[in-house]
């Protein structure tokens, strides 16, 4: 039963009370200011609650809460699958972005810009097809167990003059989220109060590159570490 039923029940209750007062012969117009103030205030609260349930219902999604344990297990599973090269078995939900670049040179430089230290896996293809496939994966963004993964911007890949560049996600505006929280009188008994220690579960993206068999990378930066799968 959703919240929208409650205002209807309260409205019926108020109407019954008003009818009872009128039936008793008391005129509402004699009620002094405070009565009116109270009546209007309660009316506004009830209407607001009813309207709020429509506002929330129309414009937002009530989301499933994911347990912190499951979020961490998913992350470990993602890293395990990528590091073992089980690329085909990957859950598509983890994929943030895919780009392909034609490249026929025997080697290339790799540069990562900004304060960005993603985990990078390299898979060598079985043939020299002249195509670099770049993927960005993420185990998601969870706040208090609510999934906000679609808010994550993927990193950018670029290939210029024998140099493969990875740019951090363009998040200069950041993510601003307003969340309704249950009152302490509710969370005290049913749980689900906001954790003020680690409410945000977010890890850096994981980059997965599939390179032609004979292509080598000139690792010029100390800021990243390449992990080769199947080797």
Partner 1 sequence: MSLLTVNTAEIVKKQFLFKLKANIDAFSSLVWIQLLAILFSLGGVASQGSHSDGLSISIKYFSSDVVIAFTMIWGLVTAITITTRPYRYFDFSFVTNRITSSLSNIIYLFTASVLGGVTAMLAKGLLIIIGYLFLDFQLLDFYSQSFHVRDFMIGTIAAVLYIFFISSIGYFIGTLVQVSRLFIVGIPVLFIGSMFLDGMMQREPMAMKTLQFYFMETSLFIFIVKVFISTALFFAASISMLNRMEVRK
For residue 191, state whether it binds partner 1 (rule: CB under 8 A). yes
Q: Which is nearer to partner 1, 95 or 131 (CB)?
A: 95
Q: Which phi-psi region, left, alpha or beta, contains residue 230 (left: φ > 0; alpha: ψ -120 to 50)? A: left
Q: Which is nearer to partner 1, 81 or 168 (CB)?
A: 168
Which of 17, 181, 219, 221 contacts partner 1 by CB under 8 A? 181
Eight-state DSSP code of residue 65: B
For residue 20, state whether it binds partner 1 (rule: CB under 8 A). no
Q: Which is nearer to partner 1, 131 or 143 (CB)?
A: 143
Q: Which of residues 100-159 bind partner 1 (CB under 8 A)?
A: 114-116, 118, 141, 143-144, 146, 152-153
Q: Give the count of alpha carbons within 13 A of 82, CB side only.
A: 27
Sign of the dihedral defined by the CA atoms of residues 220, 225, 230, 231, in that order:
positive
E strand map for 13-130? 95-102, 107-112, 119-124
Min. distance of Cβ 230 from partner 1 in angstroms? 27
Eight-state DSSP code of residue 98: E
CB crowding 57-78: b at 16 or more within 10 Å, else e:
eeeeeeeeebeeeebeebbeeb
Nearest to 209 by CA among 189, 187, 190, 226: 226
For residue 95, state whether it binds partner 1 (rule: CB under 8 A). no
Q: Which is nearer to partner 1, 92 or 190 (CB)?
A: 190
Which of 127, 189, 222, 230 contacts partner 1 by CB under 8 A? 189
For residue 44, state whether it binds partner 1 (rule: CB under 8 A). yes
Task: Report the distance separating Cα 137 and Cα 133, nearest Å.
Answer: 13
Site string for partner 1, 200-219 (x = CB under 8 A): x-xxxx--------------
Residues in contact with partner 1 by the rule CB under 8 A: 1-3, 5-7, 32-35, 37-38, 41-42, 44-46, 48-53, 55-56, 59-63, 65, 114-116, 118, 141, 143-144, 146, 152-153, 168-169, 171, 174-186, 188-192, 194, 196, 199-200, 202-205
């Amino acid at each position: 039963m959703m919240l929208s039923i409650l205002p209807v029940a309260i409205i019926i209750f108020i109407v019954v009370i008003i009818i009872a007062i009128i039936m008793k012969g008391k005129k509402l117009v004699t009620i002094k200011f405070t009565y009116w103030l109270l009546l209007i205030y309660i009316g506004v609260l009830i209407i607001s609650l009813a309207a709020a349930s429509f506002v929330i219902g129309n414009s937002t999604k009530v989301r499933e809460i994911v347990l912190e344990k499951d979020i961490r297990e998913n992350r470990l599973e993602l890293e395990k699958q990528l590091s073992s090269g089980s690329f085909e078995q990957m859950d598509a939900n983890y994929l943030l972005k895919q780009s392909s670049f034609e490249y026929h040179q025997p080697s290339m430089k790799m540069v990562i810009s900004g304060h960005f230290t993603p985990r990078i896996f390299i898979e060598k293809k079985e043939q020299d097809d002249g195509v670099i496939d770049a993927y960005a994966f993420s185990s998601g963004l969870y706040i208090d167990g609510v999934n906000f993964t679609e808010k994550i911007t993927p990193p950018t890949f670029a290939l210029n003059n024998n140099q493969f560049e990875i740019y951090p996600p363009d998040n200069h505006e950041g993510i601003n989220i307003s969340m309704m929280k249950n009152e302490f009188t509710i969370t005290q008994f049913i749980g689900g109060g906001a954790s003020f220690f680690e409410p945000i579960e977010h890890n850096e993206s994981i980059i997965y590159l599939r390179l032609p068999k004979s292509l080598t990378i000139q690792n010029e930066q100390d800021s990243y570490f390449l992990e080769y799968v199947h080797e």
